[in-house]
Amino acid sequence: MRKCRLTGRIVTPGNPEYDLAREEFNTRYDLFPSVINFCTTAKDVANAICWARERKVKFRIRTGRHSYEAYSSLDGGLVIDISEMNKIKVNHKTKTARLGAGSLLLPLYERLYEEGYTIPGGTCPSVGLSGLTLGGGWGMLTRPYGMLIDQLIGLEMVDAKGNIITANREKNADLFWASRGGGGGNFGVVTSFLFHVIPVDRVATLNITWDRKGFEPVVMAWQNWAPFTDIRLTAIIDLLTKEKGEIRALGEFTGTALELWRIVQPLIDAYPPKKIEIKNVSYIDAVKMFGGRMPGMEEYSVNHGDPDAHPFKNTGAFAKMLLPPKGIKILKDFLSKSPSSENKVQLQALAGRAGEVSPTGTAYVHRKALFSLLYITKWENEREANVNTKWVERLRNSLLPYADGAYVNFHDNCIKDWLEQCYFENLPRLIEVKTKYDPENLFNFPLGIPTANKL
């Protein structure tokens, strides 16, 4: 006799909420789960795992729906959605916060800011905390405060047997190590995190725009500057298509605008900018600026759909050395022949505090990278999907001599040696942890970590 039943909010085909409930951030995918279970407690999650085990039903775990290959959903199975597990409790005495794993970034940042704190997370407002954290997590505070996992103290997880367990440096330490960069969906369902939180009030922001004619000198100057400059500054640079005709550098600095003017001078001297904007702003205004949520823009709500959802094929890599002129030329050539004017390449400065941890100190292995590269495509019509997908994969392959590795949060099913590129020397240990905590490989998806007996 079956003993397990689903608890929490249940959405099935035919329900008025179903089409919204199954929507993915990457609208290139159109998946139809049989059941979507919105869990609000760890017990709901445990019940869902028990229910799936009893019935031998395939399932996926979902928070912000941002899996690039839509691996947080599936056709015909169960989606365990934790996006309603979003409670936040701040302890001012210890400067820590217990955060619901289903929290979405913009509402989370707003709530923490009300308490005078933040965490060094990402920029996209609708990304889920769980997936971001478990993959490592970087954003506009990465250089002064490290990866998001570097502020993680512990977590609560529902394991493959439906047990609610904790992991930290003392208890289940191997699982805690694996959960700091091993990626979501591999070991269990995280229901809450305990973080150190960072006091924050005001920051300075940077926004510089150049004409595309300055492509080579600006990119060369940026990479020689951004990973090595004042550790209080985290900078990115957006390389746009020939049709757009611009390059944009953005940054967040935990000092003042006056200080920032002096720090960015090498970038300004590289090529005459079209526009320079450096100003002091409240931290939450900086969050909204980098997340595209300035006043008057539609706010994100999981209950009303994501206004930023669109079809895309993105991928990425890491640069452990500076790109030579030939590598910069490859970037320029690809952006000159882009099949979509909306495509771009974004470089994100790393190093700083993120580089102070050993590559084997956590499962996130890319500690020696100077910067990451995110290759971004975007299109409107389905007939454009194939040409853009081929473009972005050719771009990544062409730059492999200068930038390799893969970020587990940038799922890309075109990378044949995905696991090795994600984890390098940490892969054997991750397989050991996977085999220990999920020996039956209950938590699985196409790019997931296998158990030892599944190799």
Residue 17 CB partners (closer than 8 Å, separation 6+):
11
How far apart are the C-alpha atoms of 265 and 199, rounded to whole Å?
28
Q: pTM for this structure?
A: 0.95
Question: For residues 283 and 200, is the Cβ–Cβ distance under 8 A?
Answer: yes
How far apart are the C-alpha atoms of 241 and 335, rounded to whole Å?
5
CA atoms within 13 A on the CB side of 47: 18
In this structure, what DSSP letter does residue 186 have? S
In this structure, what DSSP letter does residue 425 have? G
Amino acid at 369: A
pLDDT score for 306 = 74
Alpha helices of 15-77 — where are they, by DSSP H? 18-22, 42-55
Per-residue pLDDT of the chain (455 residues; tens, 9 = 90+): 678 999 999 999 999 999 999 999 999 999 999 999 999 999 999 999 999 999 999 999 999 999 999 999 999 999 999 999 999 999 999 999 999 999 999 999 999 999 999 999 999 999 999 999 999 999 999 999 999 999 999 999 999 999 999 999 999 999 999 999 999 999 999 999 999 999 999 999 999 999 999 999 999 999 999 999 999 999 999 999 999 999 999 999 999 999 999 999 999 999 999 999 999 999 999 999 998 744 333 343 444 467 788 899 999 999 999 999 999 999 999 999 999 999 999 999 999 999 999 999 999 999 999 999 999 999 988 889 999 999 999 999 999 999 999 999 999 999 999 999 999 999 999 999 999 999 999 999 999 999 998 65
Question: For residues 213 and 119, is the Cβ–Cβ distance under 8 A?
Answer: no
How far apart are the C-alpha atoms of 168 and 413, rounded to whole Å?
31
225 sits in which H/E element:
helix 215-225
pLDDT score for 304 = 47
How far apart are the C-alpha atoms of 79 and 62, rounded to whole Å?
7
How far apart are the C-alpha atoms of 455 and 450, rounded to whole Å?
7
> In this structure, what are the phi and psi dihedrals at residue 93, rounded to the nearest 5 degrees?
-65, -45
Structure tokens at 291: 């997340």
Q: What domains lie within the chain, and their CATH numbers? A: 9-81 (3.30.43.10), 88-199+424-440 (3.30.465.10), 202-292+308-398 (3.40.462.20)
Cβ neighbours, 10 Å, residue 202? 15
Cβ neighbours, 10 Å, residue 180? 24
Q: Which residue, chain included where needed, has tokens 């329900």?
A: 15
pLDDT score for 294 = 40
